[in-house]
Structure 1
């Protein structure tokens, strides 16, 4: 299913890029001016609110529109009505992608908005097409590579440190994952502004993106299994005596499959979350069950 989806997104993106090329859109020079660097820094900061302003109708569009403001304030300082029109367009269009990769689309949109302002051409439909074409592929890349792979690997190390009472555990996660994602998002904004859709198009055409996405998904799944096995331990201490022989239930279960209760618990919790159950309620439910079972001498 993942391969089919990625191929569909690739074909859609290539089709959009072919249409965009017909518009003869140019990109900024590799050497950016101090003003352009300032615009990109401010755009990056405003893009930080992507998940804080999301809604059910246009999703992340409000923060995305705000990320366009640093450029619009300069390019349309003498035409406030046009600036309002462009801002309203971005704020009213549906936008939803992975937060790190959103920087890439913001950079591309800024470059295209700059060309529109300088050339006087109406590129609004083209800009909307680019955003729509990139949302799906970039979300797939970002979720697989960053959310489902890098985050899990870093979290596994941090959890191991924290489980041993080491305060470096949470700091390790915040600095490495939190700080790392900020750096990557800023770099994505720069790349998007300088390289545009060409960067994503070449990555897809060379087959790099599907390979990275699939590898990251597999590695992330392996890390989830390792996390469950090492950090979700269920030990049944109940050992009833039958005909003078102590019967260890835990040893019987380990003989069938080591860690089988941890795996079953994981899939049960996962299924409940998939059906809309609150993670917080599940945590308190499990705490209550463990307390009762420990009181009864089962755990």
Structure 2
């Protein structure tokens, strides 16, 4: 691929090491003030060690620069790592280059890239992978969890790999060009729309609520309440339950409490014969 071929063998070795080290980022959280800064520093350390090989003071200053707060959707975070590596190389070679620019650009990219990464990988790809995996697993197929891992992780790993090179080769102008052309807004909107469609499909097919309540009729068959629900709006109760859970999440209610509440509600309704 052109991105990898345009890099020197020395830089390619450094970028590959950054890519492999990037998997440790989320294992390095040290609190709200630094978040994943140690993991970021560990990931780009091969670049710092090489480019500041003969400048111990510069190496120390570069390490200090990257002790600041860092948090990003790591599926796309390797773009920032590659970008920072290229800018640190420029800092080491050009004494007139302002090193604070590196920190400023790194910080400014966290929000936009996380928005894209969350929409694509968490909002769309994970939902699709989970939908396929759960569907197969519910039928007792071992392919369910395997396909979930494959569908989610293969694109994620490929994105991590090539975005590391993209960040290193294209530099800070890439994001700026996307914003100027309007591609960034279009990508965000497309990913958000697809994510909402998938959530709607999963709500309709996977959230189950069938009432056993009925109205007895003398001399005839009882009228099932569920029949009227389906005639009024098929899937209305599952939709309301999903919206209720979403509302609780928006109120910062812990997801574990929501799951526990749904479980208890299901048990109670089952015991009294509602479902």
Whether TM exceeds 0.5 here: the answer is: yes
Aligned residue in 2 for 1:109: 84
Q: Which of 79, 87, 97 does residue 63 from structure 2 map onto?
A: 87
Aligned residue in 1 for 2:243: 267
Aligned residue in 2 for 1:12: none
8 Å CA contact 1:98, 1:139 repeated in 2? yes
Q: Any residues of structure 2 matched to 1:103-252 within 5 Å, and which?
A: 103-245=78-220, 246-252=222-228
Cα deviation digits, residues 76-109 of structure 1 (max 9, x gap):
2333343222112111x23222212211111111
CA distance in 2, matches of 1:145, 1:29: 24
Q: RMSD of aligned C-alpha atoms? A: 2.0
Helix, strand or coil at the partner of 1:50: helix
Q: Which runs of 5+ in 1 are unaligned?
A: 1-27
Query: Higher relative CO (CA 8 A, sep ≥ 6), structure 1 or 2?
Result: 1
Pairwise CA distance, 1:30: 6.0
8 Å CA contact 1:145, 1:212 repeated in 2? no
1:288 aligns to 2:264 (yes or no): yes
8 Å CA contact 2:90, 2:97 repeated in 1? no
Q: Which of 38, 41, 45 does residue 65 from structure 1 map onto?
A: 41
8 Å CA contact 2:131, 2:202 repeated in 1? yes
CA distance in 2, matches of 1:118, 1:253: 71
Q: Which of 223, 231, 239 does residue 255 from structure 1 map onto?
A: 231
**How many residue pairs align between the two structures?**
271
8 Å CA contact 1:68, 1:87 repeated in 2? no
Pairwise CA distance, 1:247: 2.3
Pairwise CA distance, 1:171: 0.6
Q: Which runs of 5+ in 2 are unaligned?
A: none
Farther off after superposition, 253-262 or 131-140:
131-140
Helix, strand or coil at the partner of 2:27: coil
Cα deviation digits, residues 204-248 of structure 1 (max 9, x gap):
222222112101111110110100110111111122314455121
8 Å CA contact 1:58, 1:95 repeated in 2? yes
Helix, strand or coil at the partner of 2:33: coil
Pairwise CA distance, 1:52: 2.7
